[in-house]
């Protein structure tokens, strides 16, 4: 049996949980267990999954003991961990009984316990790590995308006159970048449609509702859209934060302006900016409304730059990360068949845990 140790919240965001759900869907549902800290948002998202909850405010030592007992009681053969920060003592506690360990890292490219490390961010030098550490999954060629992105890529618009701008800041948007961006784009002409997407953990709904009363007819608010790829593929320009949305938009080739929630997002976005795949405006606290409006206006007027951004971003994120990762899991666990390049299982190809 496989377990996913992952958390999500308004402050942390939903990206870790979303990518784990996408990865979990390649395994038989009755062989997958999620282990998460108690949180109403997590419970709502995982209501159809098998979940064991850890106390939200439990002392660290007690939490690790409960986790250890949970993994042992379910006879977990493979643990996939996706936490922003791993507490001291976590790895020795979970790496027991010949259990295999796969770890998502935001800042590291290896650790002494994990059989596979996943870090698909665009940190400086990721190309070199891909060549020198083949057991691990490093760099944007391992970005995990929902299969709907592949299905909708062919529907995206051609690069031309900007008619639709998308604002999408992830599942929670803890810094309220959506509100800042929306205010900044108020002077945009009525010929341009502005679509605002907010996720299930967005906590500025009252402010957005008050602001929406003043919006022109060319503004549309969409909430908790199930297939976000549809909104993204329809955009001529997107404003997004530097999390999973940045890589999803890159795969679709949507010219994107990134405003970062935190320093590690800024690091990853800065690398993509240097490669001319996106426009990174940096940390939200250092970005003004006039900066946002000017950047959007300049990018909208520069068709050749947007064409170049599409070409570069599509090369960096090719959409095959889920397939590559699952094949490595097959080899790690032994006896599982190789998956087709599309990363989709037929009934005879699903691995058994």
Given a cut of 50, is residue 352 above it in pLDDT?
no
CA distance 196 to 215: 12
Contact indicator for 348, 72 with CB cutoff of 8 Å: no
* Predicted TM-score of the model (pTM): 0.90
CA distance 152 to 284: 30
- So where are the chain's domains? 2-145+319-333, 147-316
**What mean pLDDT comes out for the span 28-45?**
94
Given a cut of 70, is residue 133 above it in pLDDT?
no
pLDDT band at 351 (very low <50, low <70, confident <90, very high): very low
pLDDT band at 320 (very low <50, low <70, confident <90, very high): very high
- The answer for residues whose C-beta is within 8 angstroms of residue 18's C-beta and 6 or more apart is 171, 244
pLDDT at 6 (0 to 100): 97
**Nearest of 151, 109, 140, 144 to residue 277 by alpha carbon:** 140
- Residue 208 tokens read as 């957005």
Q: What angle is formed at CA 151 by the lines to CA 104 and CA 260, rounded to 5 degrees?
A: 45
Given a cut of 80, is residue 307 above it in pLDDT?
yes
pLDDT band at 110 (very low <50, low <70, confident <90, very high): confident
Q: What's domain 147-316's superfamily in CATH? A: Glycogen Phosphorylase B; (3.40.50.2000)
Three-state SS for 13-58 is: ECHHHHHHHHHHCCCCHHHEEEEEECCHHHHHHCCCCCEEEECCCC
pLDDT at 213 (0 to 100): 78
Contact indicator for 116, 135 with CB cutoff of 8 Å: yes
Q: 3-state DSSP call for residue 200? A: coil
End-to-end alpha-carbon separation of the chain, Å? 5
Given a cut of 70, is residue 19 above it in pLDDT?
yes
Given a cut of 50, is residue 76 above it in pLDDT?
yes
pLDDT at 157 (0 to 100): 81
- Residue 279 tokens read as 């426009």
CA distance 7 to 53: 10
The overall average pLDDT reported for the chain is: 88
Give the β-pairing of 78-82 and 100-104: parallel
Given a cut of 60, is residue 30 above it in pLDDT?
yes
139-167 burial, b at 16+ Cβ within 10 Å, e below that, comes to: bbbbbbbbbebbebbeebbebeebebbbb
- Residue 2 tokens read as 């496989």
Contact indicator for 214, 156 with CB cutoff of 8 Å: no
User: Among the residues of the chain, which ranges form H helices?
Assistant: 15-24, 40-45, 60-73, 90-94, 126-132, 147-152, 177-184, 205-212, 228-233, 244-252, 263-274, 289-301, 303-316, 321-333
The pLDDT tens digits for 178-204 are: 999 999 998 887 789 999 999 888 989
Given a cut of 50, is residue 343 above it in pLDDT?
no
Rg value, the chain, Cα? 20
The pLDDT tens digits for 202-254 are: 989 999 988 877 776 788 999 988 889 999 999 999 999 999 999 999 999 99
Given a cut of 80, is residue 127 above it in pLDDT?
no
Q: How many helices (H) and strands (E) does the chain have?
A: 14, 13
Domains 2-145+319-333 and 147-316 share a fold: yes
CA distance 249 to 329: 26
**Domain 2-145+319-333 falls under CATH 3.40.50.11190:** yes
pLDDT at 130 (0 to 100): 58
pLDDT at 58 (0 to 100): 81
- The answer for residues whose C-beta is within 8 angstroms of residue 122's C-beta and 6 or more apart is 139, 140, 268, 269, 271, 272, 275, 316
Higher pLDDT, 151 or 329: 329
């Amino acid at each position: 049996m496989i377990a996913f140790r992952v958390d999500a919240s308004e402050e942390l965001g939903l990206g870790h949980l979303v990518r784990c759900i996408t990865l979990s869907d390649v395994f038989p549902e009755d062989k997958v267990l999620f282990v998460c800290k108690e949180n109403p948002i997590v419970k709502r998202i995982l209501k159809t999954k098998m979940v064991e909850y850890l106390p939200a405010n439990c002392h660290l030592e007690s939490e690790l003991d409960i986790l250890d007992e949970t993994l042992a009681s379910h006879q977990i053969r493979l643990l996939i961990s996706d936490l922003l920060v791993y507490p001291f003592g976590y790895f020795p506690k979970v790496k027991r009984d010949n259990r295999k360990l796969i770890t998502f890292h935001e800042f590291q490219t290896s650790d002494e316990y994990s059989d596979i490390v996943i870090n698909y961010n665009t940190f400086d030098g990721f190309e070199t790590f891909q060549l020198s550490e083949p057991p691990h999954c490093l760099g944007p060629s391992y970005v995990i995308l929902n299969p709907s992105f592949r299905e909708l890529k062919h529907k995206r618009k051609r690069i031309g006159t900007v008619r639709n701008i998308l604002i999408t800041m992830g599942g929670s948007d803890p810094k309220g970048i959506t509100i800042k961006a929306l205010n900044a784009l108020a002077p945009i002409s009525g010929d341009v449609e502005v679509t605002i997407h907010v996720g299930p953990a967005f906590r500025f709904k009252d402010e957005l509702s008050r602001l929406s009363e003043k919006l022109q007819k060319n503004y549309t608010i969409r909430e908790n859209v199930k297939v976000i790829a549809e909104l993204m593929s329809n955009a001529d320009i997107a404003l997004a934060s530097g999390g999973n949305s940045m890589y999803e938009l890159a795969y679709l080739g949507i010219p994107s302006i990134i405003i970062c929630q935190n320093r590690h997002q800024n690091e990853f976005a800065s690398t993509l900016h240097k490669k001319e795949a996106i426009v990174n405006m940096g940390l939200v606290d250092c970005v003004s409304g006039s900066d946002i409006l000017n950047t959007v206006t300049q990018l909208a007027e520069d068709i050749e730059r947007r064409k170049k951004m599409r070409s570069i971003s599509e090369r960096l994120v090719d959409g095959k990360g889920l397939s590559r990762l699952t094949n490595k899991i097959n080899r790690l666990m032994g006896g599982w068949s190789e998956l087709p390049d599309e990363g989709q299982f037929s009934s005879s190809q699903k691995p058994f845990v």
